[in-house]
Amino acid sequence: MVSAAATLLFFFLSCVNLIPTTPAVEQRPFQTADGGVGGALGKSRKRVFPVPHTQEPDPVAGAYEYCNTPNRSEQALEGHSLPDYKLLSVQIMIRHGDRYPIYSIPKTKRPAIDCTLSSSRKPSHPLLNSFISHMGQGGQGHWESPLSSVPRLPNHSACEMGELTQTGVVQHLRNGQLLHHAYKHHNLLPPKWSPRQVWVETTGKSRTLQSGLAFLYGFIPDFDWSKLTVRHQWSTLFCGSACDCPARNRYLEEEQKRQYRIRVSDTELEKTYVDMARTLGVLTRQLRAANPIDSLLCHLCHGISFPCVPVGESGAGGCLTMAQFAVIRRQQLDDEVDRRQAKLYHKYAIMAMYPYLNRTATKMERVARDNEAGRQRRAGGEEVFTLSSAHDVTVAPLLSALGLEEARFPRFAARLVFELWKSPPAIQGQPKKKAGKGEKSKAKDGELFLRVLYNGEDVTFHTTFCRTHDRHAGQPLCPLKNFLSFVRKDMFRVVNATSYQEACYGRPV
Ligand SMILES: *[C@@H]1O[C@H](CO)[C@@H](O)[C@H](O)[C@H]1NC(C)=O
Ligand SMILES: *[C@@H]1O[C@H](CO)[C@@H](O)[C@H](O)[C@H]1NC(C)=O
Ligand SMILES: *[C@@H]1O[C@H](CO)[C@@H](O)[C@H](O)[C@H]1NC(C)=O
Ligand SMILES: *[C@@H]1O[C@H](CO)[C@@H](O)[C@H](O)[C@H]1NC(C)=O
């Protein structure tokens, strides 16, 4: 049974693109189709936070970055820390990899893409064949309902709507392998890890489930299926049993109105839609409802030329153009700037991601407690590795909630990583602050720190809770307690509240 609030949420998610004529076929992402591109763009290819630039950003170059074509080596600062610090836990949220469009452009041929997996097709990966055969044994794993009926591999010679492509699988095999190497020396997971130590969760879409499995396989090759439970998150917000939050929906509605206003005031965009619709011989509103950017991005990412229709009467006929694509992308970037200024999305995001952040914080505390000096470790260990396989409509609000407003919109196979670190018991040459009352016995224990990484880049000191931390004075890392007080209280300050309950129900917007 889906609650009223959930229905409402899906309603808003599907309308936030302001395409009220389309039914909510799937959860519709915030910006465009679960695949919308936005994201601050800079001239720099690599950096998550664009280097300030004086020229206008190039909307098409930014789109290639969004594709995340797995054809070059990538930076990964995960696992970097100070000597003698111990890595206690890693929690990762990923966006699924490259997928087939969710929408099709009326009157045009769908892009021809093969969603079966084959190591003779590019892009491939050395682990691809063993991954395919390992997925064949998935029946030995434990699957929370309804995941056991979701296919574990993409396998249609003509991709279905929204299906993960081979590119998407390879992106996550690479991600997993990258982090396998990054954490190898930190003994995060013992060779004989226990079922409790590895937590994997996903939404019920095949592309997220398959992305999560590809990541996990890269991270723990030939993992033991019998120890694995794959958990289901029914909401794209990963909010579990705490999804009800009326105020969140109100902010989303306001945000939707803002987005609508800025879009209709953009005459160049409106003219472009009219031109495109004329080319295709459809009504402008039909074209807008078909969310053409989603399919055009897929063409771009797969090197397929934009669709054409034969010339007919009444002026229809011709091809959609890169110039039209660039206008839609340009408007998305303008919208991002306006969105940051309006702050409605940020308020939405704070409430949307609180349940996930609260859970993340709680896990860290549990692992930290298990690692206290002189304490008997819990039999079977704690959750030291968590993988949440999600959508752009999950990762985008998470970035916003953390205060990473300037970060690029989540590309295919984006990853956000939380690392929990513990310093050695006595830090040499650094007089420790006096411990609080009653904490004498712990005074000699190491201290806890957090690192946050987005697509391999350390963004810890861009987050709201560590932006002002003076890392040059004594503590080069961000103290865990900053994060804890942010999640438990401070994050609600932007909505004039001190708790989730109060923020959601407290007072009218
Ligand atoms: C990787 O693919 C992208 C998109 O197709 C292309 O623009 C880029 O030049 C390629 N890079 C390399 C190193 O081949
Ligand atoms: C893919 O589907 C084909 C035909 O339905 C089947 O023969 C094949 O075993 C499937 N492959 C995988 C890896 O599931
Ligand atoms: C937040 O986490 C605490 C445990 O640390 C839990 O008791 C509480 O129910 C959580 N709140 C929400 C709204 O998820
Ligand atoms: C927050 O509370 C203050 C003082 O009570 C008030 O002036 C302000 O308008 C409130 N802001 C919001 C966003 O409700």
Tell me the backbone φ, ψ of residue 163, rounded to 5 degrees.
Answer: -75, 140
d(CA 243, CA 444): 40
- The residue ranges of every structural domain in the chain are 77-241+350-422, 246-340
Ligand 1 center–CA 391 separation, angstroms: 24
* pLDDT score recorded for residue 37: 34
* pLDDT score recorded for residue 469: 81
Best of 362, 364, 491 to mutate for ligand 3, by most ligand atoms within 8 A of CB? 362
Residue among 96, 134, 299, 346 flagged as catalytic? 96
Atom of ligand 2 nearest to the CA of 117: 13
Class of domain 77-241+350-422: alpha beta
Ligand 3 center–CA 117 separation, angstroms: 41
* pLDDT score recorded for residue 55: 54
Tell me the backbone φ, ψ of residue 373, rounded to 5 degrees.
Answer: -60, 135
* pLDDT score recorded for residue 25: 29
Decide if 488 contacts 361 (C-beta within 8 A): yes
Q: Determine the number of helices (DSSP H) and then strands (DSSP E) in the chain.
A: 14, 11
Give the number of C-alpha atoms closer than 13 A to the C-alpha of residue 252, restricted to the C-beta side. 27
* pLDDT score recorded for residue 51: 53
Decide if 241 contacts 500 (C-beta within 8 A): no
392 part of the active site: yes
Q: Whose CA is nearest to atom 10 of ligand 2?
A: 155
Residue 499: CB within 6 Å of ligand 3? no
Q: Which residues line ligand 1 (CB under 6 A)?
A: 64, 69, 71-72, 303
Sequence-ordered list of residues with C-beta below 8 angstroms from that of 508, at least 6 positions apart, any chain: none
- Taking only the tens of pLDDT, the chain with its 509 residues reads 333 333 333 333 332 322 222 222 233 333 333 333 333 333 334 466 655 554 566 888 889 999 999 988 888 999 998 889 999 999 999 999 999 999 999 999 999 999 999 999 999 999 999 999 999 999 999 999 999 999 999 999 999 999 999 999 999 999 999 999 999 999 999 999 999 999 999 999 999 999 999 999 999 999 999 999 999 999 999 999 999 999 999 999 999 999 999 999 999 999 999 999 999 999 999 999 999 999 999 999 999 999 999 987 677 889 999 999 999 999 999 999 999 999 999 999 999 999 999 999 999 999 999 999 888 888 888 999 999 999 999 999 999 999 999 898 999 999 999 999 999 986 444 444 544 444 444 457 899 999 999 999 999 999 999 998 877 767 789 999 999 999 999 999 999 999 999 999 986 44
Ligand 4 center–CA 347 separation, angstroms: 14
96 part of the active site: yes
Atom of ligand 2 nearest to the CA of 152: 14
Sequence-ordered list of residues with C-beta below 8 angstroms from that of 23, at least 6 positions apart, any chain: 14
Best of 119, 155, 160, 169 to mutate for ligand 2, by most ligand atoms within 8 A of CB? 155
- Separation in Å, CA 245 to CA 6, 17, 235: 10, 21, 13
Ligand 2 center–CA 157 separation, angstroms: 10
Sequence-ordered list of residues with C-beta below 8 angstroms from that of 304, at least 6 positions apart, any chain: 111, 112, 113, 298
Best of 64, 74, 174 to mutate for ligand 1, by most ligand atoms within 8 A of CB? 64
Q: Whose CA is nearest to atom 12 of ligand 1?
A: 71
Q: Whose CA is nearest to atom 11 of ligand 2?
A: 155
Ligand 1 center–CA 303 separation, angstroms: 10
Ligand 2 center–CA 156 separation, angstroms: 8
Residue among 34, 98, 392, 445 flagged as catalytic? 392
d(CA 99, CA 210): 11
- Exposure string over 426-436, b if 16+ CB within 10 A, otherwise e: ebeeeeeeeee
